[in-house]
Amino acid sequence: MPNSQFKIPNKDLFAIEALAQIPKILTLLDRNPHSPTYGCFDRNFWHYKIIDFPSGMSQEFVFPLALIYDTDTPNNPYYRQPAIKDWVKAGICYAARSAHKDGSCDDYFPFERASGAAAFSLLACIESYIILNLKDDLENNQKNNKFDNQAIINFFIKRADWLAEHHESGRLTNHQALIVLCLERLSQLLNTSRWDKAKVQRLERVLSWQNDEGWFVEYEGCDPGYHTLTISCLARIYQFNPDIRIKEALIKAVNLAAEFVHPDGSYGGEYTSRNTYNFFPHGFELVGNWIPEALQINTRFLQGLANGLSPCYADDHIIGHHTWNYLLAWRDFVDERPSEIISKNNQSNRIWLQNAKILIDRRQNTQLYLALNKGGVFKLFRDNKLVVADTQISLQLSDKGKIKNAVGHLVSPYRINIKDDDITISGNLGWAKQKQMTPLNLLILRVVMLTVGRFFPDLIRKLLQRVLIVGKNDAPFWFTRRFFWKNDKWCVVDKLEAKTWDNVISAGIGCDQTSIYVVMSRTFQKSQLQPWLDLTAEVNQLANSQPLKIEREL
């Protein structure tokens, strides 16, 4: 697309997207002042009563409410509405009331003591407290809330202490960055050096977890979506602590993020390590004050928003993250932006992220985003439009009366061979992680957490991560996927070998299949309207040991 066709989008797109989520957030909130769960945002707990504890992550939703209260934008019916302010106070008080004695909170099972939930909700409560200047209000409403200002401050301190001392299993850089930001904001609010040592240690971890290629580790590799959340946190930290190392980390991180904005303005997808379409824009506005190129990332993303390409995050657990980040991007939007948008997608080049095992190839108005560590999962764009999204071959099998799923998109050290016009990936399919909760499983988990597990929540978390997220068990199917450039087009040849096809029920290739548990994955995005490629008839015609072969010209 010629640069002249790009227009600088209106920053109100961020506010419009966020405004659309506020009625849902308010529906999730118990707004009855006489209710024992007044201020709780977990509707499954307080209203449906289908779970036995409230998710602490839900209290993060005070943040978008505080921001929308303070956002003077057209068609905002919530601007300076006293009820919104009251509900934010109630939400903060409920966060304090529902926390464990050590200040931690749970997310998905009791006594989990989840770092992510604790950090997201603490940041939300601190920021809301500051934005709405709640000190006097909490003092005046002591009789109604049973929480005066000092009680709330004590809760902030207790949770910050827990976050400073607790170390979760797994490497999630965005959580570490969130914790640093929480400690920084609370240190400023209370004018204290209490967490200076913890801030330094956590920041060192964040910086050490940045790969030389610019990305931050998220479980098993590079996830550009969570990468933007880490950028957002670091950019705010840099505002308060202009450390040259943070600046250098942000420069590398922003340069990498620019590579992942698709030519249609969408971002991320199933070719990334955690399968997310996340995009947190706020950090790019902050960094854009000293790296104008960062603003172009948001401008290109806004083009996608204008074309309806934003993913849907409007479910009960994850609706808050993007809502508050969009509102912050609106608030800190840089009006003086580069007049010309230089899109990397208009340039012929190849980016080979050898450590991340992601290849981006741009040539003759095509853009290929290819995950070689995920068996060749890819997105292909031509003329700035998505042509194909592909999450590798999937087989459904019957095994001793059980239905199992063998897939080609799990992270693994596959064999790869990369040439200018020819790319090959080969390896075993893996068994999809499809563990579901049953009444018995839930009962066992509850008994464990109410007894031994409450003292060792990180051990339980680590075991669940192994079952639901990390690792790959090979299935008895060997695939080879080859990409080659021919007649100005990418061609794909898939070959799948097996000793027997007798137990295969169904076969196909989908555009959005994933098989690990990630909270922010499996959201809907318009590109997922691409139909399923059914290969069952082809498999049914194969004799045992005869390979399945599919050739496509994209």
The 10s digit of each residue's pLDDT in 177-219 is 999 999 999 999 999 999 999 999 999 999 999 999 999 999 8
pLDDT for position 5:
44
Residues 48/308, Cβ–Cβ less than 8 Å: no
- Return d(Cα 490, Cα 370) in angstroms, integer: 12
Q: pLDDT band for position 6 (50/70/90)?
A: very low
Question: For the chain, which residues make up each domain, given as ranges?
Answer: 13-168, 357-433+469-553
The C-alpha R_g of the chain, in whole angstroms, comes to 24
Strands (E), 358-500: 358-363, 366-371, 377-382, 385-390, 393-399, 402-407, 415-418, 422-431, 474-486, 489-497
H or E element, residue 51: none
pLDDT at 340: 67
300 contacts 399 by C-beta, under 8 angstroms? no
What DSSP designation does 524 have?
-
Identify the helix (H) or strand (E) that includes residue 353.
strand 349-353
Selected residue with higher pLDDT from 534 and 145: 534
Least confident residue range of 65-79, 312-326, 434-448: 434-448
- Examine the pLDDT at 220 and tell me if it is beyond 80: no
Give the Cα-Cα-Cα angle 213, 217, 219 (nearest 5 degrees).
145
Average pLDDT over the chain, rounded to an integer: 92
Q: What is the pLDDT of residues 381-408, one digit of tens each?
A: 999 999 999 999 999 999 888 999 999 9
Mean per-residue pLDDT, 476-499: 97
Q: CA torsion angle for 48, 51, 53, 56 (degrees, to 10)?
A: -80
Q: Is 90 exceeded by the pLDDT of residue 8? A: no
3-state secondary structure of 73: coil
Instruction: Compute the Cα dihedral for 187, 190, 195, 197 and give only its sign.
Output: positive
Q: Which residues pair with 175 in a beta bridge?
A: none
Q: Could you tell me the two tokens for 236?
A: 């705010």
Looking only at the bridges linking them, the beta strands covering 474-486 and 489-497 are antiparallel
Q: What was the pLDDT predicted at 9? A: 62
Q: Residue 145: its pLDDT value, please?
A: 54
Structure token pair of residue 137:
């209000």
Distance CA 389, CA 351 (A): 19
Other CB atoms closer than 10 Å to residue 474's CB: what's the count? 14
Higher pLDDT, 508 or 139: 508
Structure tokens at 169: 């299993």
Give yes or no for residue 518 having a pLDDT over 60. yes
Residue 533: CB atoms within 10 Å:
16
pLDDT in tens, 342-371: 666 667 799 999 999 999 999 999 999 999
Q: Is the pLDDT of residue 3 over 50?
A: no
pLDDT tens digits for range 232-282: 999 999 999 999 999 999 999 999 999 999 999 999 999 998 899 999 999
The confidence score (pLDDT) of residue 4 equals 38
Average pLDDT of the segment spanning 456-477 = 79
pLDDT at 461 over 80: no
C-alpha–C-alpha distance, residues 534 and 507, integer Å? 6
User: What are the tens digits of pLDDT across the range 321-330?
Assistant: 999 999 999 9
Q: Answer with the residue of higher pLDDT: 436 or 333.
A: 333
Query: Does the pLDDT value for residue 115 go beyond 80?
Result: yes
pLDDT of 146 above 80: no
Segment 23-51 mean pLDDT: 97
Q: Where are the alpha helices (DSSP H) in 384-496?
A: 439-450, 457-468
Question: 280 is written with which tokens?
Answer: 């947190």
Percentage of the residues of the chain whose pLDDT score is greater than 70: 95
Residue 341 is predicted with a pLDDT of 63
Q: According to the model, what pLDDT value does residue 1 have?
A: 38
What does the pLDDT read at residue 142? 57
- What's the rounded mean pLDDT across residues 494-509? 97
> Distance between CA 477 and CA 479 in Å, rounded?
7
Quick check: 468 and 516 in contact, CB under 8 A? yes
Number of Cα atoms under 13 Å in the Cβ half of residue 65: 31
